[in-house]
Structure 1
Amino acid sequence: MAHVERQPLNEADRQSAPSRVAGLAMNGLHTLLGLALLLVVGINFVNAVSRYLLGVSPLGADELMVYIVIWVVMVAAVLSLIMRSHINVNLLPIYTSGRTRHLLHVIHDAAAVLACGYATYASWLFIGRISRLGVTSMGLGVPMTVPHAALLAGFAGLTVAGAFMLVRDVIALVRNAPHTRMAP
């Protein structure tokens, strides 16, 4: 039998299976979001060409682009919060370490849960109101609950992600665990 030399584990091998699955899911979502934005660019191109060269305006093209972008932004917001890659002013956490950094993350997570939880509740109430009215879009006739559901889904996702991160960061604060950074 041939001797097989053992190679040291690289970073990908050290990750747990759920971490690899989560990473693959996030990469898949990023790809899907990118394709959705390319679809918006394509719709915009077709809209411009048909409007200015052919004199025909496609019905609902502008609405469709806006609805897709709203959904993309809300899904991307959830991913950004999970990966902590959102736009923020992190001057203070950069210069802190240990429990202080964990405490700052806990405060950030708690603020995100409170703000996004309130926005989720407000979105739920608003969708209930427009649903009862039966409001539809002017061009496509889409029930307005569909684009507004993006806000509900996004803020609910942000609330759940923030709550998960809050629990994780409270545990890290109590244990004084080393800091980890997710790769985009």
Structure 2
Amino acid sequence: MVVLRWLDKHIEEVILVILSILTVVIVFFQIASRNLLNFSLIWAEELARYAFIWMIYIGVAYGVKRKRHISVEVLNMILGKKGNKVLDIVANILFLVFAVIVTYLSFLVLGKVNRVSSALSLPMEFVYAAPLVGMLLASIRLIQQIVSQVRNFNKEEEVTEEKVVPKV
């Protein structure tokens, strides 16, 4: 149970840190080998590209979890506290519908892929699985948020350090 709780809290961060470090190291060695040793690593650019694709989709789930996606705040200024809560729930439901559709379509596309990458000979299913995994994680995070928002609908919102965002 402790492991599941830890994974629920940190899985996106761990994956993003690993992929970021991998990308930086690969790109650094690629640049160093080109400029200092006069040869290019055939597989480096491809692996860095695939790691970046995975970072994008895992980043979507991370943004959902941290409530950091772009939003228009005009309606938040007009509506009261209850109206903002309703608006947040509706926005999350719409985002969930989008994430589920993308997950489903990604699953369909994944079933049709039967190629390998040119430099790594990596099955392309690995690359095409990024939207599926990222949007599935985002869907899970959205469901968690919607359940929490509905449960706490009539409660006063507590101010936490995580929710305080400086206005620019």
**Normalising to structure 1: TM-score of the pair?**
0.75
- Distance verdict in 2 for CA 1:23–1:168, change over 3 Å: same
Measured after TM superposition, the shift of residue 23 of structure 1 is 9.7
User: Is 2:153 the partner of 1:183?
Assistant: no
Match of 2:29 in 1: 46
CA distance in 2, matches of 1:32, 1:144: 20
Name the counterpart of 2:41: 58
Q: Distance in 2 between matches of 1:169 and 1:154?
A: 22
1:24-35 equivalent positions in 2, closer than 5 A: 25-26=9-10, 29-30=12-13, 33-35=16-18
Count of residue pairs the alignment pairs up:
159
1:138 maps onto 2:121 in alignment: no
Deviation string, structure 1 residues 93-131 (Cα, Å, up to 9, x no partner) = 25644211110111111111110110001100000010x
TM-score, normalised relative to structure 2? 0.81
Among the aligned pairs, what percent are the same residue? 23
Runs of 4+ in 1 over 6 A off after TM superposition: none
Output aligned runs, 1:146-157, within 5 Å: 146-157=126-137
Bigger radius of gyration among the two: 1
Alpha-carbon RMSD: 2.5
Structure 2 distance, partners of 1:34, 1:135, is 28
Q: Would the alpha carbon gap of residues 31 and 162 (structure 1) be closer, same or farther in structure 2, given more than 3 Å must change?
A: closer
Aligned partners of 1:171, 1:40: CA distance in 2, in Å?
40
Q: How does 1:17-166 map to 2 (within 5 A)?
A: 25-26=9-10, 29-30=12-13, 33-93=16-76, 96-130=79-113, 134-166=114-146
Counterpart of 1:183 in 2: which secondary structure? Answer: coil
Contact persistence 2:42–2:119 (CA under 8 A): yes
For 2:108, give the aligned amino acid.
L
